Amino acid sequence: MTIGLTYDLRDDYLARGYSLEETAEMDKPETIEGLERALAALGHRVVRIGSAEQLVCALAAGGRWDLVFNIAEGLFGRGREALVPALLDAYRIPYTFSDPLVMALTLDKALTKTVIRAAGLATAPSARLHDAAEAGSVDLPYPLFLKPVAEGTGKGISARSRVGSPVELREVAADLLARFGQDVLVETYLPGREFTVGLAGCGAGAEVLGLMEVHFTDPAAERAIYSYETKADYENRVRYRVPRDAAADAAAALALACWRALGCRDAGRIDVRCDAAGAPNFIEVNPLAGLNPVHSDLPILCRLNGIPFEALVARIVREAEGRVEEKKNAQR
């Protein structure tokens, strides 16, 4: 099978003047190379396509592929992760991971939580701020936790994200609004354990691949934040462990229910954090999880749970191929 590979190469954007933080979700060359090796080992012919802009040019020139393995994040707008899937839908070219609707919805953390609540699933109480002046109307118990509403890779999250007073709330909200030019999500702070849950499949066929729990290497930093800086320096700041207890089982069950409620597919991860009573709460979902073979959370999680990177890639491709076969069978 000929598989096209869509991605955003970080070096390309850095060369155009974008900052390290702005390009945090973009891919490094070793990520593309790792995917190429895994797909080739599975017997596929891989064609590098590149970004959404390069995909547009390739499509206009008549380029076609049996399947597109899409990891392109995009850089602009709230629908940036939906752009490549939407283009491929227009040309009826099958691709990996979730469709444009799911990609657009889940990039907006506040809207995602609305769907999760409507499904009767647990997530922390929250508010959405369009302006710092709205901070005074937030009616949630302190401490609170603030983050940009539509960013990933921990962007905008730091030790300042946890606020304990109305003054701090207004100050941090104003800073995030100015820096990221988007709404701010305000949530009740959850002080319990934090899990990352890997998932694969779709609907009734979805399943949990495994879990990992975040532990800070400095015991005094157990209340530290799993921030952009922490993720960038994870080898020194945190240790990932595979939890095997009732709390982990509850987190896995919640994540699977959320995955199904949102309509995610193929593979991804969901972050879950426990409240003061130990009950798991949905934090956020990543239906387009990073796939650096060494450093990305989903491959790390899989590796810790005995799933090699090539097996993860094979599962993703198999899920996408299954949709193609289902469509063919329905048309017969």
pLDDT digits (tens, 9 = 90+) for 85-134: 999 999 999 999 999 999 999 999 999 999 999 999 999 999 999 999 99
Residue 202 has pLDDT above 90, yes or no: yes
Number of other residues whose CB lies within 10 A of the CB of residue 264: 29
* Of 18 and 332, the one with more pLDDT: 18
Determine what percent of the chain falls in helix, strand and coil, rounding each to the nearest 5. 45, 20, 35
**How does the average pLDDT of the chain come out, rounded?**
94
The boundaries of the domain holding residue 290 are 194-320
Last residue of a domain, one of 95, 111, 142: 95
Judged against a pLDDT cut of 60, whether residue 222 lies above it is answered with no
pLDDT tier at 330, thresholds 50, 70, 90: confident
CB 24 within 8 A of CB 228: yes
Query: In this structure, are 215 and 183 located in the same domain?
Result: no
For residue 297, pLDDT over 50 is answered with yes
Mean pLDDT to the nearest integer, 50-60: 98
Which strands make up the sheet holding 162-163, listed edge to edge?
126-129, 184-188, 144-148, 162-163
The pLDDT of residue 221 is 58
- CA–CA separation, 254 and 236 (whole Å): 30
220 pLDDT above the threshold of 70: no
Query: Do 224 and 166 share a structural domain?
Result: no
Which of 255, 260, 246, 257 shows the shortest CA–CA distance to 273? 255
pLDDT mean over 246-275: 98
Please indicate, yes or no, if residue 247 is contained in any of the structural domains.
Answer: yes
Quote the tokens at residue 117. 């609540």
Residues of the chain with pLDDT > 70, as a percent, come to 98
pTM of the shown model: 0.93
3-state secondary structure of 3: strand
Based on the fold, state whether residues 15 and 54 are members of the same structural domain: yes
The CATH number assigned to the domain holding 310 equals 3.30.470.20
- Of 16 and 219, the structure prediction assigns the larger pLDDT to 16
Rounded Cα distance between 197 and 92, Å, is: 31
pLDDT band at residue 224, thresholds of 50, 70 and 90?
low
